[in-house]
Each structure stands twice: as C-alpha cells, then as structure tokens.
Structure 1
Amino acid sequence: MSTKYRFRDKYRIQLREKDHLPPHVHLTGGGLDVLICLQLVEPMRGHAPAAVLREALEWIRAHQTELLEEWKRWHP
C-alpha cells in the first residue's frame, strides 16, 4: 500500500499494490474507505463528507496520469 496524499490531518489517498480492477484509489481515514475510479475520477463505492470528497477528487484529477501509470506498473 502506498499513501500518495495526506490532508486534513486524518485523510489519505492510497494506491494499493494488490488490488482488483478497475483501476482505483482508496480515500481512507476517519472511518472512511471510499473507492475512487482513476479513469472517471468519481466514487465507485463508499461515502465521504462533501468537502473531503471534493478535495480528494481535485487532487486525484491533478495527479491522474501518474496514478494510472503507477497502477499499470503494479497491475500489468
């Protein structure tokens, strides 16, 4: 598991080496585990407060290319 971004003292965006398709990251912390699709940059499963989700999605959009490249390295 690789934490890519930490924010608001308790939330993290994680990319996991051993995970399932489709390509996604996890928004975790504070009791959350939201799966966010890397191709569409939208939640696939789980819920988070609107402001937390908005910040996470903005960061993922800004780093989408590098996150997808890393996913492909770990999941050929």
Structure 2
Amino acid sequence: MPTISQFFGIVIQMFWREHSPTHFHALYAEYEALIDIRTLEIIKGNLPKRALAMVLEWAVQHRTELMEDWKLCQQKQLPKSIAPLE
C-alpha cells in the first residue's frame, strides 16, 4: 500500500485495488480510518480527535491531489506523493 503523505505521526495511504467510494487510509498508532475524499466523512474505523482534525485539515488542502491519486490507482498506477500538513 503506497504511502502518499506523512505528518505528525500520521500516515496517509491509498491502495491501487480499492473500491468506491473514493477514499484514503489514515493510520495513527493503533488507529486506522478510511476517509471519503468527497465528503471527508469516516467510512470505517476511527482516529483520536486531534489526529482526525489534522487529517481533515490536510485533506481539505489537498482534495484535488487526492482525487488525482484516486484516478491513478483506478488505472493501476502508483499514486503520487502529497505534501504533508505543516
């Protein structure tokens, strides 16, 4: 599973063989959440509040890049790296 970004101990990943809805995986310590790119709602799993807030802030800033990476994954291509939250 390619890692597309990392910040503050949070790892953002996206699979090339994933299914709809469009989403990415956010991992933090023992937590994992699948987050819908379009709505920014958690589809499955959970994250601590502070980690979730950072992930959502990052996703808002990079939503276009996330959609582009999703399209690459659907074409069985590796997604591109996305800048971390600063």
Q: Same fold (TM over 0.5)?
A: yes
| Residue of structure 2 equivalent to 1:14 | 13
Percent of residue pairs identical:
33
**Residue 29 of structure 1 aligns with which residue?**
28
Q: 1:50 maps to which residue?
A: 49
Number of equivalenced pairs: 75
Deviations for 1:25-52, whole angstroms, at most 9, x for unmatched residues? 0011311120000011121111111010
The runs of at least 4 consecutive aligned structure 1 residues that moved more than 6 Å come to none
TM-score with structure 1 length normalisation? 0.87
Structure with greater strand percent: 1
Give the unaligned 5+ runs of structure 1.
Answer: none
Question: What is the RMSD of the two structures over their aligned residues, measured on CA atoms?
Answer: 1.3
Question: How far has the Cα of 1:2 moved from its partner?
Answer: 2.0
TM-score of the superposed pair, with normalisation by structure 2: 0.78
State the Cα deviation string for residues 52-71 of structure 1 (Å, max 9, x = none): 00000110111011111111
In structure 2, C-alpha distance between the alignment counterparts of 1:26 and 1:43, rounded to whole Å:
10
Which structure is richer in relative contact order (CA contacts within 8 A, separation 6 or more)?
2
